[in-house]
Amino acid sequence: MKDLWITPDLIFDGQEVSAGQAVRIVDGKVADLAAGREDALQIKGCLTPGFVDLQVNGGGGVMLNSSPTLAGMRTIANAHRQFGTVAVMPTVITDAPEVLAAAAEAAIAARDDTGIIGIHIEGPHIAEARRGTHDVNSIRVLDDKTMQVVTRLRANDVTVLMTVAPEAASNDQIAALVAMGVIVSLGHTDASADAVESAISAGATCATHLFNAMSPMTSREPGAVGAIINSHLRSGMICDGYHVDDRMIALALRARPAEDLMFLVSDAMATVGGPDQFDLYGQPVRLVDGRLVNAEGNLAGAHITQGEGVRRLVQAIGLPLQQALRMAITTPAQVIGRDDLATLVGQRTQDVVLLSEDLSTVSPLDGVLGSVWGHDAAE
């Protein structure tokens, strides 16, 4: 039996960041936390559960829309794991009905995979005016075909997060999705604040990438942005320095009516852990100076990891590390009812990471312990 106590500089236990805590590792799992122990191995950095990402379009050179298969999902999950994101929700964006159906079957096949925690269906039931890079020819109102796909997913106990616009899904349809156990997220919408609030009353509990692809807030019409900020919806946000100005992120965080309503998403594309170009809807998307742009020169998803998002939240926006980690781990885990993802005790060491002091490096705990045990074995 391999049994070791370690004391990192800091520990994030899913709720708080603390110092002076020791962690007991037994046979590849975190077995216990205790006050400082003299026999513990000192380790630099902050020990934390791995990151949770509820909006991952691609990675490792693969887009889910282009490869809506179990192999595609696994490639995407493995690409993000090397950067500390141990739980991903592969995201299928607006496309033909057969692409959504294939992605759903892949999600059913992947339901027992440790790092794949469900599926995010982002479109096609969105507003054309706020489609972003989504294919205009595939946008449609919520129909029986999609309801059948979602029913099959839920019958197979797959967690489903679904982005819809109030213009493309009635309140009765939203309520029906919620009754099935779907997490309904409002996004890609040009709706008024009243329409957004009506959808919230129907059961929507989440919002997709605040500020991006939604009607803006003005003095006389709060729009989707104002309605979401003023609500108790949990809302994702992209923090790459391109999708949302850092000052707007700080403003939104201060303006929410309660804590832990914002969570970090990467909106990552195939370039994370992959080449700097990929095809989307048959058109090239290129990585140019940190931004992903399509042939029209518009933003087309993000090239960022959750770890990089945490670093930007702390260093560019000035959040305490504890709040940033809650946004990247605890809150997204709560959104999908998986509090177990935001705990240390009981966690496998392969799902725990060590952050360097400047947050520039994310190291799997497995690798750190492997070097330690290898040295002990040599002795």
Domain boundaries, the chain: 3-49+352-378, 51-342
Long-range contacts of 144-152 (CB under 8 A, 24+ apart): 145/97, 145/101, 146/97, 146/100, 146/121, 147/173, 147/176, 147/177, 149/100, 149/101, 149/104, 150/104, 150/121, 150/177, 150/180, 150/182, 151/180, 152/104, 152/108
pLDDT band at residue 370 using 50, 70 and 90 as cut-offs: confident
Instruction: Give residue 37's pLDDT.
Output: 83
Residue listed under structure tokens 């370690």: 6
Work out the mean pLDDT of the chain and round it to a whole number: 95
Q: How far apart are CA 263 and CA 286, in angstroms?
A: 27
Instruction: Give residue 1's pLDDT.
Output: 64
pLDDT at 332 over 60: yes
pLDDT band at residue 270 using 50, 70 and 90 as cut-offs: very high
Q: Which of 38, 43, 60 is nearest to 8 (CA)?
A: 43
pLDDT at 372 over 90: no
Q: Return the CATH fold of 3-49+352-378.
A: Urease, subunit C; domain 1 (2.30.40)
Instruction: Give residue 375's pLDDT.
Output: 47
Given this chain, do its domains 3-49+352-378 and 51-342 carry the same CATH topology?
no
201-209: average pLDDT: 98
260-278: average pLDDT: 97
Q: For the whole model, what pTM was predicted? A: 0.96
Task: Determine which of 1-10, 206-215, 312-321 has the lowest per-residue pLDDT on average.
Answer: 1-10
96-116: average pLDDT: 97
pLDDT at 376 over 60: no
Instruction: Give residue 373's pLDDT.
Output: 58
Q: What digits encode the pLDDT tens for the residues 144-194? A: 999 999 999 999 999 999 999 999 999 999 999 999 999 999 999 999 999
Task: Determine which of 35-49, 167-181, 330-344 has the lowest per-residue pLDDT on average.
Answer: 35-49
Q: Which of 149, 151, 160, 57 is nearest to 100 (CA)?
A: 149
Instruction: Give residue 19's pLDDT.
Output: 95
Instruction: Give residue 262's pLDDT.
Output: 98
87-104: average pLDDT: 98
Task: Report the percentage of the chain scoring pLDDT > 90.
Answer: 90
Instruction: Give residue 374's pLDDT.
Output: 58
Instruction: Give residue 377's pLDDT.
Output: 34
Catalytic positions, written as ranges: 267
Instruction: Give residue 367's pLDDT.
Output: 85
Task: Report the percentage of the chain scoring pLDDT > 70.
Answer: 97
Instruction: Give residue 295's pLDDT.
Output: 84
Q: Is domain 51-342 given the CATH code 3.20.20.140 in the classification?
A: yes
Instruction: Give residue 368's pLDDT.
Output: 82
Instruction: Give residue 39's pLDDT.
Output: 87
Instruction: Give residue 18's pLDDT.
Output: 96
Burial class (CB in 10 A: 0-12, 13-18, 19+), 218: exposed
